[in-house]
Amino acid sequence: MTTDADARTQIIRAASRLFYSQGIGRVGMDAVRDAAGVSLKAIYKQFPSKEDLVLGVLGNLHDRWNSDIDGALAQAQSPREKLLAVYDYLSVWFERSDFRGCGFINAFGELGAGSPAIAEAVREHKLSFLAIVDQLVADAGGPAELGPQLAILAEGAQTTAAILGDAEMATVARGAAETLIDAAFA
């Protein structure tokens, strides 16, 4: 028997795949129902509106992003390697066959102007990432202005890689990050 938690997980997984591959606006609730293998009633019980479903997907995506970043950071040994691990993670992500850019940026582009709740969820995620990078810089003993600079490089790499279809943007951003880090610690 499927529990509410199981149904919620199935719905979020299915909606995540569909929204990321096709775009939020192009995916109807019937497609989510079919992909999740649950009824529309079950979807609306968990998510009373499509906006609620998008927010659920973004919450799940935020958790996965943080887990993936934590995993990349755990493999790095030194403070400098931790700063660069973000770009190493991006390099692996950009090589995936299903890479379509940042799901948060995509959601903001599609719905941010019309949905204050979605715009706020995206802002919170981006501020959370900035806080992670700021903490890495602080742990390395670097200047405060380095954190936003490194975060912007990662954000720009995600957008440029998606638009150009060029996974090398992670390597380009990593090289720029190394230059910034070297200058900051000179």
Number of structural domains the chain divides into: 2
152 alpha carbon, distance to own chain's centre: 14
Q: Which residues of 36-50 are buried (b: 16+ CB within 10 A; e: fewer)?
A: bebeeebbeebbeeb
48, 65, 85: which is the final residue of a domain?
48
Q: In this predicted structure, what is the pLDDT of residue 137? A: 98
Q: In this predicted structure, what is the pLDDT of residue 2? A: 67
As averages over each run of 10 residues, the pLDDT of the chain (186 residues) reads: 84 97 96 96 96 98 97 96 97 96 97 95 98 98 98 97 97 98 95
| Residue 26 shares a structural domain with residue 16 | yes
| Residue 20 shares a structural domain with residue 79 | no
Q: In this predicted structure, what is the pLDDT of residue 156? A: 97
Q: In this predicted structure, what is the pLDDT of residue 1? A: 62
Torsion angle of C-alpha atoms 110, 163, 128, 83, degrees rounded to 10 = 180
From residue 7, give the alpha-carbon distance in Å to each of 16, 18, 47, 55, 134: 14, 16, 11, 16, 37
Q: In this predicted structure, what is the pLDDT of residue 115? A: 97
Domain around 105: 49-184
| Residue 118 shares a structural domain with residue 103 | yes
